[in-house]
Amino acid sequence: MEEINNIDDLVSKVMNVSLPWEDFCTNEITEWLDVFSHAHGTRKELVFFGILSTVGALLGKTELKLFSTHKERANMFFIVLAPSGAGKTPAAQISCGYPIVNYLESKIGDGKQLLVDNSSSSGLFNYFLNEQSVPVMCIDECQGFFGKMIYPSKGANDQALTMERMCKLYDGDAWYSVKGSKGKRSGVQFAAVSLIAYTTPKMFLKKLWGKAVESKNGFADRFMLYCCDRDDVSIVEKEGFSERLDEFPITSLDSVYEKIYAEHNTSDHVEYKLNQSAKECYQKFARHTPENDAEKSDAKVGKNVLKLALVLHVFYDRLKKALDTTVGTTARIITEDTMKMAISLCSTLSHVKALMDLVSILQCLFTAVFIFFA
């Protein structure tokens, strides 16, 4: 804390936290992600979290069964911060928007939507009345989206999503509405979304995240956060990466997403399990997670590790098959190696989030100093 005296210090600190790619991703997949990202003028970190959130939605109601009364679904909430010009918009496009809207939704047909861009409460509620899917929300500039939630309007007709509803959409809770003089209830038993949101760091931390942390209503605990700097690539370098991408068997995520969706959105319930060593690895991690004053936050870390293990297992399997031009279904057993990958990634993101959560302390200190000298 002594190294962080203001928002600029905090942004600099979190930008210096690198992802340990060698601990949670194979060299083959890391290389493809790097080439794929740079060919589109962005960086793999920005693309990777868009992929994780999108795959979490494509897995639908698929579950990872730890034991009979403990199951997790794959939908996750990510916020990725980067300065202007870092490539947030192209990352959102190639990891989510283009392969979902331009390819997968047209392949499915029947007007089915997997990407939702109506962020009003009534619009999303109506989506769930008509769709059985788990949608993904992809927002390449999320200041306004979170601003409406964290600073809600007092207007009677305001239809912005609330922090409480977002918590329920992470958990996959029921969503019902009672209307009319007879009190007729309509809604669904299960409503969940995956979210990937991008924005610039300084104003987000200063205006929004500190307030979200201070609310202590579980909203901030459900998010995984990352922050990175620009990774400038010249037009000549971008052309070189584009030529390298053309040498791979796949140049987009279209077919990967199609196979993930087709395999996991059938009439049969799809369930994954951990093998014994993976379960022991997770249990050891859960036992050593700090408790007491951070119980709620730690519970979400445990949930996110399981969600990440499921998404990494499926995505890596389908991408490797695409790169190796092989076919076959995804194995329903998750190994210890994948669990260690999930723990490594989640631990890094938990460290980043803990740093970003300090913004609420900074704001309290600034307020105290202002009052003292007023």
Domain definitions of the chain by residue range: 7-373
Q: Residue 137: beta bridge partners? A: 195
pLDDT at 44 over 90: yes
Residue 293 has a pLDDT of 42
- Tokens at 137, concatenated: 């929300």
In this model, does residue 292 exceed pLDDT 60? no
pLDDT reported for residue 369:
38
What integer pLDDT is reported at residue 373 of this predicted model? 36
Distance CA(26)–CA(77), nearest Å, equals 24
The first and second tokens of residue 3, run together, are 């190294």
**Residues ≥6 apart with Cβ < 8 Å to 206:** 7, 359, 363
Closest C-alpha among 72, 40, 120, 68 to residue 301: 72
- C-alpha 321/C-alpha 255 separation (Å) is 11
Average pLDDT over residues 52-78: 97
Of the candidate ranges 53-57, 300-304, 305-309, the one whose mean pLDDT is the lowest: 300-304
Is the CB of residue 100 less than 8 Å from the CB of residue 115? yes
Three-class SS of residue 2?
coil
Instruction: Please report the pLDDT score of residue 181 as a whole number.
Output: 66
Which tokens go with 373? 């000298």
The reported pLDDT for the residue numbered 288 is 74
Whole-number Å distance between alpha carbons of 258 and 261: 5
What's the chain's Rg over C-alpha atoms?
21
Q: Which two tokens stand for residue 219?
A: 């909203």
Q: Which phi and psi (to 5°) does residue 40 adopt?
A: -110, 15
Question: Which architecture, in CATH terms, is 7-373?
Answer: 3-Layer(aba) Sandwich (3.40)
Helix (H) or strand (E) holding 210: helix 210-215
